Amino acid sequence: MHHATGPAPVAGPFRDCTGNLLGETANQPRVDPSRFDTKRRQTLLNLLNALNELSQAECLDRDFDQNPSFEDDRDTPTVDEQLQVSGAEKFNRFQKRINSFDKELRNFGNAARQLGSSVGILSSAFRLRERLAQLLFLFRDNAADLFPRKISRQQREFLVNPNLMDRKRHARRRKSMPGRVPVNIEDSLDLESLPEQFDNFAAALMTFLKCLNEFPEFTDEAVNTSIKSFEGDLKYWACCLQEYRGQFKYPAVQRYVHDLTAEMGEHIDSITGTLSMFIEVGVPTIRFAQKHAAANLLTLSTVATFFSAVTATTLQFSYSQTGDMLSDAVNAFWFSSLVFSIAAAVNSLLGLSWRQAMYRSPGDRVPWWVLMWIKRSPLVFLVMSVTCFSAGLVLFTYSTQQGKVTSTITTVFTAFTSFGLAAVSAWVASEKWTFVHHRGSKWLSDVLKDALRRFMALRLVSFVSKTFGRSSQYVQKGVEFAGHKCRRVSSMGTITTTAIEQGDNLTSGEYAHTISRSPEPLSPLSPIRQSTDSYSCFSGEGSSHPNLESPTTTTFSGTSNSPTTARDRLTSAIRSVMMLQSTTSSPSSPFSSVRKRTTSSAFTDASRTTPDTGITTAFRGSKVASLISKLKSLETTQDLAAHSALVRHLQFSPNGKFLATSSWDRTSIIFRVGDPCVPHRVLAHASGFVGQVAWSPIGVLLLTRVNRAIKIWTEDGVCRKTIERQRHVQSIAWLPRGEGEVPTGTRRLCQQVIFAAFLSVEGSEVIKLDLNGNVLDTYRFDRLFIHDVAITPDLQWLLGVGPILYSPKGLHPSKSRVEKQLLVYNIQTKVIENQTPVLNDVRDITLAKNGQVALVSYENKAFPQLWKLEIVKDQARLTLRHTYMPKVPVDFAGPSYFGGKDDQLVLCAGKAGDIHIWDRDSAVLLHHVRAQALGGDLTCVAWNHASDNPFMFATGSHDGAVRLWTTMNDHRPCESSRRHLTVTTQSTPYSVTPCSPSPVDSGFQTDSAGTQYGEYTPEPLTLTPVEDNGQRDRIVTFAHTRG
């Protein structure tokens, strides 16, 4: 790509073709007073001033067919200094992230050198750093093409990577050797190879992760998750970028590649953080585990060496005894023990050296028998050595004819220790088998319980266990019966003694009261309060049953000490019930059907808006300066309480006489534009939110879009047709010149012949429909979910925007945002001629009147952009012209709009209430209505193209309010002339308010004769308003819904 070496002209403030500020006089040549008289000097000055004015007009009024200094020009890829700075800052942040990741890889390499078998992880880290340096070089080259004034290119021989520098040094040494041709890996580095570089980087990441997981001593799930997520996104990007082969020098593709730096940066930060944590925690853990294993092997070698010495010592007492069977057996066992102990010691030292070796192969690269011999043979040999020695020792006691006591004790203890050794060895081996077989989901005890349960389920074992269980029950019952007989005899003696004692007490004149220990039953008047004691307290005077018998008795005499009485308990119960009712009940408030307006409904004064005065100074004396002064007079002239829910979309009719709104309260309202703006018709929908309205090119028909239906209305509120669709309708758009009327001398709609067609966007298809719902054509877009479309005036190209559903290979992103595309589709050939990738969430595209430029709107804080439709070699493509940037970050609401005469303005609203107006051709912010001045949150904006003087646009808000903004030219209305209208209706059978859900819930309304409203009739459906103190009633039309 060729770039100019000279400085590029700056977009703001405007400069003329000579490089001077608009409104300033060009530098005049020095005039010698001695050679030129005053008259000639004045003539030259006047001529220079005239040329300056002509250059200013040319720079402001040039057409797009010429070659202005826009963003996609080859000499200056980005003219606006703000875009240059922001783009350079984004790349610098990405470079810092790459450098941090490279630093962590270096630190990891230095730390991993302390580990055994680290050669694999070291080589994978080196290859990863190599790929990282190559990616950084490509992204720098791409950023240098986009931002030449801020980013400098890097020469290939100065790639900052020690691995590459080492290879270069070795290559220079081998350069003089005959038969060798040096290979320069950097020669293939080009933007066209970016998909392959992404694939190679993904493979290097997975190799690094595989080598990292070869350390069984420590596994970090965070590292695994972050690297696998990055690998998935890299493959997704590589697959998607394959479609733009040969277009990586196009500025649109370069911007998409530059935007990927933010997505990659998030992944790199995540991996850098987890890798740093792995260095701090994982490497010491692995090192400790390896040291522990080495210490175990060293201990095993020491024990084996000691045991071999013991075995060799004992052999001195038996090797000379030969000739009988016992002596030969003793020598055989002890010699075998000596061999096994020596093998155990030697294999332990061999395993220790292998584990600590830096360049040993990973476990999956070593044959299984080698691993088994190195890891298992030392312990097995030592166990076999101990077993042989123990067997030989027992036989030695008998061969030497020791005493019976000595032989017996030696045999018993040897058998006991051998059994314990065998049992523990079997348990350890079983635990290992359980872990491998069940992958850690079960312990050995769980496996043993399952085995026991299956053993008990056998028929024979089950029969034996049942028989034993029944026998034990019979024995238990017999024992219980005998014990019960014994307890009954002893209790009778106790009762007799108690009765005698009670008789003595009654005789002595004392009142004895026997009270049961069971709790007092709750009073029916006190369901909350319970008794806290298990005894009832009575006074001597109040006792009524002195001879109440009970197995357990409690005696009270004199006055009762209990303070509670029946009255107190009743009072406490009533108080508890009252408190319970007061805590559980909530005050009920009557439902208010009157909607309260938020601050967005308040009027604002034009003096509260503070536009930038610097622009006015720069454009003083030009046409833009007149626009600024006109835009400064914008103010809200009318505030309409139109809906009871969020206003989703607005649109003025082509003649500017009507304003159509759509809302989530399932209504759409047609306002008659005027002073004041009054409701003309209310279009009620039986179900679904009204998401969009669209006036026909002539303005006699109106489309409303709900979830799975499209309704066709007249400007008088008559529903001509309800077109049901099988899928969700994303957007609707009329075909330009797709409507024509053949008048028959009357204004009645039924006597007009109307030909019209429109587009319905449904997922990956765009359906062309007529007014009867017949499908005229279908345009399919594979792997793309279309959000919005626009048709050129010549009906040759269709412009569409939306995200792709999956990559060409069926891949999906794991963490990053999906790729979105701007499409140019040839309607005649049904071929996609151009695909432009973008990363932001694109939602809307609007064509200007001339059909040469398109305004693309995004969601959230992405800036609206102006794209030009160019024809190159009989194919159309979109090239970026401008990015409209506000002064502060704004969360934009709804689609952007063209405004002004010949679409010379770009209008956009923010969710917080900001309104920005830019000059279309220069992307200079002309006017900014701040959120504090507007007061309220906005959802959409629409410009009245039929009103050039004064300017007029409308805004919708979350609370259902609709505002009209106009510019004041000749006079400013007083406060009394400002209208604050609330759309209210009288509650009659034929008129409803938007707040009332009754017409929506009922679906249809019928009169006494059974006529159903909503059916198509030749006459416009109007209802007679009811006179009520001067209030204007709405005329409501109910849409007919089939099925």
**Computed over its alpha carbons, how large is the radius of gyration of the chain?**
47
| φ, ψ at 162 (rounded to 5°) | -60, -35
Please count the other Cβ atoms lying within 10 Å of the Cβ belonging to residue 410: 18
Confidence check: pLDDT of 553 > 60: no
What is the β-pairing status of strands 678-684 and 1036-1038? parallel
Query: Would you place residue 39 in the very low, low, confident or very high pLDDT band (cuts 50, 70, 90)?
Result: low
Q: Highest mean pLDDT: which of 173-182, 209-218, 474-483, 582-591? A: 209-218
Q: Which amino acid is at 826?
A: N
Residue with tokens 């809906």: 643
810-833: pLDDT as tens digits:
999 999 999 999 999 999 999 999
pLDDT tops 60 at residue 729: yes
End-to-end alpha carbon distance in the chain? 61
Q: What is the pTM of this model?
A: 0.66
- The yes-or-no verdict on residue 171 having pLDDT over 60 is no
Query: What pLDDT, in 10s, does the model give residues 53-68?
Result: 555 445 444 433 433 4
Q: Read off the pLDDT of each residue in 722-734 and give the average, rounded to a whole number.
A: 94
pLDDT over 90 (residue 649): yes
On whether the CB atoms of residues 684 and 722 are closer than 8 A, the answer is no
pLDDT for 567 equals 62
Tokens of 1042: 């089939």
pLDDT score recorded for residue 538: 34
Segment of 211-225, 500-514, 730-744 carrying the highest mean pLDDT: 211-225
d(CA 446, CA 456): 15
Contact present, 896 and 907 (Cβ < 8 Å): yes
Q: Given this model, what pLDDT does residue 759 score?
A: 95
pLDDT category, 116, cuts 50, 70, 90? confident
Q: Are strands 797-803 and 788-791 parallel, antiparallel or unpaired?
A: antiparallel
Q: What is the pLDDT of residue 552?
A: 38
Beta bridge partners of residue 906, listed in sequence order: 898, 918
The average pLDDT across 123-148 equals 92
* Helical segments of 585-706, H only: 613-618, 623-632
Q: Is the pLDDT of residue 1015 over 60?
A: no
Res 852: pLDDT: 93
Residue among 806, 803, 759, 810 at smallest CA distance from 785: 803
Which pLDDT score is estimated for 480? 78
The residues with which 858 forms a beta bridge, in sequence order, are 842
774-783 residue pLDDT tens:
999 999 999 9
User: Nearest-CA neighbor of 315 among 329, 335, 340?
Assistant: 335
Averaged confidence pLDDT in the chain: 74
Residues 6+ apart with CB under 8 A from 388: 333, 334, 336, 337, 340
Rounded Cα distance between 619 and 57, Å, is 12
Pairing of strands 775-780, 765-770: antiparallel
The lowest-confidence range among 140-144, 292-296, 333-337 is 292-296
Helices (H), 585-622: 613-618
- Does the pLDDT at position 999 exceed 50? no
In this structure, what DSSP letter does residue 958 have? T
- For residue 798, what are its two tokens? 């269709």
Q: Binning pLDDT at 50, 70 and 90, where does residue 46 land?
A: low
pLDDT in tens, 779-802: 999 999 999 999 999 999 999 999
Say what the pLDDT of residue 180 is.
38
pLDDT of 105 reads 92
What is the mean predicted confidence (pLDDT) over 74-82? 51
Residue 63 buriedness (CB in 10 A; 0-12 / 13-18 / 19+): exposed
Place of tokens 């017409």: 999
Bridge partners (DSSP) listed for residue 983: none
Long-range CB pairs of 286-291 (<8 Å, 24+ gap) are 286/115, 286/215, 286/217, 286/218, 287/114, 287/115, 289/217, 289/218, 290/115, 290/116, 290/217, 290/355, 290/356
Two tokens at 683?
């279009």
* pLDDT digits 0-9 by tens, 263-278: 999 999 999 999 998 8
Query: Nearest 10 degrees: CA dihedral of 153, 154, 157, 160?
Result: -170
**How do residues 479-511 score in pLDDT, each as one tens digit?**
777 777 676 655 555 444 444 444 444 434 443
- The pLDDT, as a whole number, for residue 570 is 62
Residue 176 has a pLDDT of: 43
CA–CA gap between residue 941 and residue 953 (Å, rounded): 7
Which strands, in side-by-side order, build the sheet including 765-770?
A: 731-734, 757-762, 765-770, 775-780
Residue 45, pLDDT score: 66
**Dihedral of the CA atoms 129, 131, 133, 134 (nearest 10)?**
170
Q: What angle do CA 904, 909, 914 make, to 5 degrees?
A: 115
Please name which of 204, 189, 198 lies closest in space to residue 240, comparing C-alpha atoms: 198
Q: How far is it, in rounded angstroms, from Cα 184 to Cα 165?
A: 12
Instruction: Give the pLDDT confidence of 741-785 residue by residue, as tens digits.
Output: 444 443 444 444 446 899 999 999 999 999 999 999 999 999 999
Under the banding of pLDDT at 50, 70 and 90, the label for residue 317 is confident
Q: Confidence band (pLDDT; 50, 70, 90) for 335?
A: very high
- pLDDT digit string (tens) for 187-196? 567 889 999 9
Place 989 in a pLDDT band, splitting at 50, 70 and 90: very low
Residue 135, H or E segment:
helix 119-146
3-class SS at 804?
strand
Q: How far is CA 876 from CA 775, 792, 879, in A?
A: 27, 11, 10
Q: Best-predicted range by mean pLDDT among 369-373, 750-754, 846-850?
A: 846-850
In the DSSP assignment, the letter for residue 338 is: H
- Residue appearing with tokens 């008259």: 39
Q: Could you give the CA distance from residue 785 to residue 378 in angstroms, rounded to a whole number?
A: 65
Kind and range of the H or E run holding 682:
strand 678-684
pLDDT at 205 over 60: yes
Distance CA 567, CA 577 (A): 16
The DSSP H or E segment spanning 286 is helix 283-315
Q: What is the 3-state secondary structure (H, E, C) of 698-710?
A: CCCEEEEECCCEE
Task: Quote the DSSP letter at residue 558.
Answer: S
DSSP summary character for residue 282: I
| pLDDT tens-digit series, residues 578-628 | 665 554 444 433 333 334 444 433 333 333 344 444 444 444 445 677 788
Question: Can you tell me the distance from the alpha carbon of 555 to that of 511, in angstroms, rounded to the nearest whole number?
Answer: 8
Q: 739-747: long-range contacts at Cβ-Cβ below 8 A with a sequence spacing of 24 or more?
A: 739/696, 739/697, 739/698, 739/700, 739/701, 740/698, 741/698, 741/700
Question: DSSP string covering 967-995, please?
Answer: --SS----GGGSEEEE-----BTTB--TT
Residues in the chain: 1043
Token pair recorded at residue 761: 């966007």
Contact 168, 204 (CB under 8 A): no
Q: How far apart are CA 397 and CA 390, in angstroms?
A: 11
* CA atoms of 283 and 151, how far apart (whole Å): 39
What pLDDT sits at residue 539?
38
Question: Beta strand 979-982 with 635-641: parallel, antiparallel or unpaired?
Answer: parallel
Is the peptide bond preceding residue 1018 cis, with omega within 30 degrees of 0? no
How far CA 965 is from CA of 539, 920, 930, 947, 968, in Å, comes to 89, 20, 14, 12, 10
993 pLDDT higher than 50: no
Strand partners, 870: 877
Q: How far apart are CA 177 and CA 1003, in angstroms?
A: 91
Q: What is the pLDDT of residue 362?
A: 67
- 312, 318, 336: which is closest to 397 by C-alpha? 318
pLDDT at residue 158, rounded to an integer: 56
pLDDT at 228 over 80: yes
Please state the rounded mean pLDDT for residues 439-459.
82
Position 666 scores a pLDDT of 92
**What tens digit of pLDDT does each residue of 423-440 get?**
888 888 888 888 878 877
Mean pLDDT of 1013-1040: 38
Task: Give the whole-number percent of the chain exceeding pLDDT 90.
Answer: 38
943, pLDDT greater than 90: yes
Those residues whose C-beta lies under 8 Å from the C-beta of residue 569, and which sit 6 or more positions away, are 523, 526, 529
- What's the farthest any 2 CA atoms get from each other in the chain? 157
pLDDT band at 50 (very low <50, low <70, confident <90, very high): low
Instruction: Tell me the mean pLDDT in the region 944-962.
Output: 88
